[in-house]
Chains A and B, each alone.
Chain A
């Protein structure tokens, strides 16, 4: 039973355009959501997070939107750059404490110059 789903294994976007990565979850206990980016031969690096009390969080070119009623979140990257090409993982947890993160399977983003 997959509690965090990233239904698009891959996505290709032109440089300068918007990248939208989607994530759905099934566990209504999840209250804290994160996005990680992973390059080959490196560990995942934290990108941005959002707690359930918000519906949007922005950090530079990266914005995460949360729709709790739909159990859906998305990561927007504007404008997309070739260096953004990586695998993006969505993760969720019941809190921002020590509870283990539950990850999706990832979406491979390719930004084409």
Chain B
């Protein structure tokens, strides 16, 4: 069974731009969660989608948004990028509940 895939793997953007990251979950998994990993803060929860609905949301500003499609694939968008948004963005999928399987992440650098 293929694992969680994330595209792109690396991205460089300029302050003020926006970015869209994509996540394809493991086949059959309907829950997709997004986490931000930074050296100072560890992994912080962004949001979780299940059956195209946002089920949980972390404490991030409204510049961070996401969505899930009918095939369970998910995208997250960050608008008006700031230097502090530079991080590894991780996507995790799971069945409705239970163990989360992480993708390799997208490394975003904001200059």
Contact = CB atoms under 8 A, between A and B. Distances in A.
Nearest to B39: A105
Nearest to B98: A96
What DSSP secondary structure best describes chain A's contact surface?
A: loop
A96 B33 CA distance: 15
A42 B56 CA distance: 25
B101 interface: yes
Interface residues of A, number: 21
B11 interface: no
B90 A106 contact: no
B45 A46 contact: no
A36 B100 CA distance: 10
Interface string B51-90: 0000110100000000000000000000000000000001
A98 B50 contact: yes
Nearest to A99: B56
Interface string A42-55: 11111001000000
B44 interface: yes
Interface of B: 4, 31, 33, 35, 40-45, 48, 50, 55-56, 58, 90, 92, 94, 96-105
18 contacts: A43-B4, A43-B92, A43-B104, A44-B102, A45-B102, A46-B100, A89-B42, A97-B98, A98-B31, A98-B55, A98-B56, A98-B94, A98-B96, A101-B43, A103-B42, A103-B43, A104-B42, A105-B42
